[in-house]
Amino acid sequence: MKNDKKNNRGKLSSELFMAALTHGAALATFGVLFFLVIFIFVKGIPHIKPSLFSLSYNSENVSLTPALAATMLATPMALLITAPLGVFAAIYLTEYAKRGSKWVTLVRVTTEALSGIPSIVYGLFGSLFFVLFLGWGYSMLAGVFTLSIMILPLIMRSSEEALKAVPDAYREGAFGLGAGKLRTVFRIVLPSAMPGILAGVILSIGRIVGETAALIYTAGTVAQIPTSPMQSARTLSVHMYALSTEGFHTDESYATAVVLLFVVIIINAASVKISRRIGGRA
């Protein structure tokens, strides 16, 4: 009896210890992360003023409009290049490829490799290939192409998951009704996989908006609204980096961080919402 009690007490205290550990860690994680967001918003929102949104940048107004414009130009351009390619590649992998084919293994290994490459290495490659070898100079186009390689694995993987989640019965039904393979893919499989594909696309928008290291030496850092794709321009993240490391405009840095954070949070919330929708439906 006595021994039992002792055991129980030992068990209880080790349970308590582990509970404290778990709760403490969770509190630290969520605390720090929420503190970060709240901190930036509280410090930054008072500094958001109309001059930040003037049409052109100078060292007086530190306007973020050119950077915002460059971001909003670069994002659709990169998506336009990568989204079709990535989705087509995923279609090949799920609908066409034979099981255990050498090509499939090679595609998977290289996609995995691409997704692990640090963004600064993409930046180096972009500046070697697009900027120098193809002679595009520091330009939006060079930045966009670098970004589009960077988001390829993201779009491929999410599209593949989405296509795999479409039940085979859909395909069999389409074949049974006399549709060809292509028709089945485009009319039946692709529409049902659309929410998953879209979630991946939105996630890659977030990646593009947040990217800095891959852009500094490809798209350059000129703070004006680009009028042609061959001009250099800085996106919002690059602008944020330039501002905060210059160190002269701390207030404006806070405000720019708020705008950047706001954009990214909206984008990711959209992605989470869409992927929840499919989760709920399946």
Partner 1 sequence: MERRVPLKDLKEKSMSAVFFASALISIFAVGLICFFLLSNGLPAIMEIGVFRFLLGREWSPSDVPPAFGIYPMILGSLCVTAGAILIGVPVGVLSAVYLAKACPEKLYRVVKPGVELLAGIPSVVYGFFGMVVIVPVTGNSILSACVLLGIMILPTVVGIAESAIRAVPESYYEGALALGAGHYRGVFFVVLPAAKSGIFAAVVLGIGRAIGETMAVIMVAGNQARMPVSLLKGARTLTANIVIEMGYAADFHREVLIATGVVLFLFVLATNLSFSALKRRGRI
136-155 positions binding partner 1, by CB under 8 A:
149, 152-153
Selection from 115, 117, 90 nearest residue 104 by Cα: 90
CB of 65 to partner 1, least distance (A): 18
Considering only residues 18, 38, 55, 80, which one is a binding residue for partner 1 as defined by CB under 8 A?
Answer: 18
Residues 44-83 that bind partner 1 (CB under 8 A): none
Token pair for 177:
């009704």
Q: Which residues contact 278 (CB under 8 A, 6 or more apart)?
A: 162, 165, 195, 196, 199
CB of 167 to partner 1, least distance (A): 21
Asked if residue 252 binds partner 1 (CB under 8 A), the reply is no
CA distance 122 to 125: 5
CB of 230 to partner 1, least distance (A): 21
CB of 130 to partner 1, least distance (A): 10
Residues 261-280 that bind partner 1 (CB under 8 A): 261, 264-265, 267-269, 272
Considering only residues 6, 9, 19, 279, which one is a binding residue for partner 1 as defined by CB under 8 A?
Answer: 19
Asked if residue 169 binds partner 1 (CB under 8 A), the reply is no
Residues 210-239 that bind partner 1 (CB under 8 A): 210-213, 216-217, 237
Asked if residue 200 binds partner 1 (CB under 8 A), the reply is no
Contact 147, 239 (CB under 8 A): no
Considering only residues 80, 106, 230, 282, which one is a binding residue for partner 1 as defined by CB under 8 A?
Answer: 106
CB of 232 to partner 1, least distance (A): 13
CB of 67 to partner 1, least distance (A): 12
Quick one: 33 or 282, whose CB is closer to partner 1?
Answer: 33
Quick one: 55 or 121, whose CB is closer to partner 1?
Answer: 121
Contact 70, 208 (CB under 8 A): no
CA distance 70 to 208: 11
CA distance 79 to 66: 20
What residue type is 235 in one-letter code? Answer: T
SS3 state at 219: coil
The site for partner 1, by CB under 8 A, has a size of 90
Q: Which stretch binds partner 1 (CB under 8 A): 52-60, 91-99, 163-171, 224-232?
A: 91-99
Contact 81, 144 (CB under 8 A): yes
Q: Which stretch binds partner 1 (CB under 8 A): 47-55, 62-70, 178-186, 223-231?
A: 178-186
| 139: alpha, beta or left? (left if phi > 0; alpha if psi -120 to 50) | beta
What residue type is 43 in one-letter code? Answer: K
Selection from 155, 127, 152, 130 nearest residue 213 by Cα: 127
Asked if residue 95 binds partner 1 (CB under 8 A), the reply is yes
Selection from 168, 170, 162 nearest residue 279 by Cα: 162
| 179: alpha, beta or left? (left if phi > 0; alpha if psi -120 to 50) | beta
CB of 103 to partner 1, least distance (A): 7
Radius of gyration in angstroms for the set of CA atoms belonging to the chain, rounded to a whole number: 24
CB of 231 to partner 1, least distance (A): 19
